[in-house]
Amino acid sequence: IATLELRDVRKLYGATAAVDGVNLTLKRGEFLTFLGPSGSGKTTTLAMVAGLQTPTSGRIILDGQPLDPLPPYRRNIGMVFQHYALFPHMTVAKNIAFPLEMRKIDGEERKRRVAEALRLVGLPDFGDRFPNQLSGGQQQRVALARAMVFQPPLLLMDEPLGALDKKLREQMQLEILRLHRDLGMSILYVTHDQEEALVMSDRIAVFNDGRIQQIGSAEELYERP
């Protein structure tokens, strides 16, 4: 279970700063949410942690190890994005097995882990289906299973429930919280939905204009007299 540190992280696009000096420490096992309006730098920050974007300057450190020399698949970080589609030509089991294949985990161990991940997200009998045979919520659960199957100490989620209707969203919120409690990994979660942030998080980082404007627990941010 990881600790993550961002030190003065910046990302410029031309002359514009998408992320303008973010400092942050994610504690071991913490559920931290990035909340803020569209364009405030949440996704770009997450993408830099994932290795999908390169910081213009600053340091990102996971468990004491600087991440910048590592490509995404070497970072040992799970990811779930709103539009991070499943591979349509692969079965659900094959989709979930993919990160294990990348890590050369095979045979019985792979089979066991895929079955366990399917069970964890409540889809034990769905391994042989194809993504287009699943509902949106089921697909998002498979994406979650794929992100967790290699037991990453850190999980990144960018608006993972944004495409779901309200009822399913609330159900999935509880499932993500249950998985977090049971597995204990650290989580960075992005949403622009304040209510979702309040329900899910240990702490909330409020983004504005590429910076963290405020950070603290829900009580600290919203119930201070």
Task: Write out the residues near ligand ADP by the rule CB under 6 A.
Answer: 13, 18, 36, 38-44, 91, 93-94, 97, 110-111, 114-115, 127-128, 207
* Of residues 29 and 58, the one with the C-beta less far from ligand ADP: 58
CA-based torsion, 159, 199, 154, 135: positive or negative: negative
For the chain, strand residue ranges (E) read 4-13, 16-26, 31-35, 57-62, 65-66, 77-81, 154-158, 186-191, 203-208, 211-216
27 and 154 Cβ atoms separated by less than 8 Å: no
> Which residue is closest to ligand ADP by CB?
127
Decide whether 112 or 181 has the Cβ nearer to ligand ADP: 112
Cβ proximity to ligand ADP, 133 vs 171, nearer residue: 133
Closest separation in Å from C-beta 92 to ligand ADP: 8
Q: Cβ 109 to ligand ADP, closest distance in Å?
A: 9
Going 127 to 130 to 131 to 135, the CA torsion angle's sign is negative
> Cβ closer to ligand ADP: 53 or 76?
53
The backbone torsions φ and ψ at residue 140, rounded to the nearest 5 degrees and listed phi first, read -65, -35
Q: Which is nearer to ligand ADP, 38 or 132 (CB)?
A: 38
Residue 215, helix vs strand vs coil: strand
Nearest distance from C-beta of residue 225 to ligand ADP, angstroms: 30
CA geometry: angle at 101 spanning 73 and 3, to 5°?
40
Instruction: State the minimum distance, in angstroms, from the CB of residue 146 to ligand ADP.
Output: 11
**Minimum distance between the CB of residue 17 and ligand ADP, rounded to whole angstroms?**
8
Least distance in angstroms from the C-beta of 147 to ligand ADP: 16
* Least spacing, CB of residue 207 vs ligand ADP, in Å: 6
DSSP states of 34-90: EE--TTSSHHHHHHHHHTSS--SEEEEEETTEE-TTS-GGGS-EEEEETT----TTS
By beta-carbon proximity to ligand ADP, the closer residue of 37 and 184 is: 37
With respect to ligand ADP, which residue has the nearer C-beta, 13 or 87?
13
The torsion angles phi and psi of 193, rounded to 5 degrees, stand at -100, 105
Comparing CA positions, the residue from 113, 164, 156 lying closest to residue 139 is 164
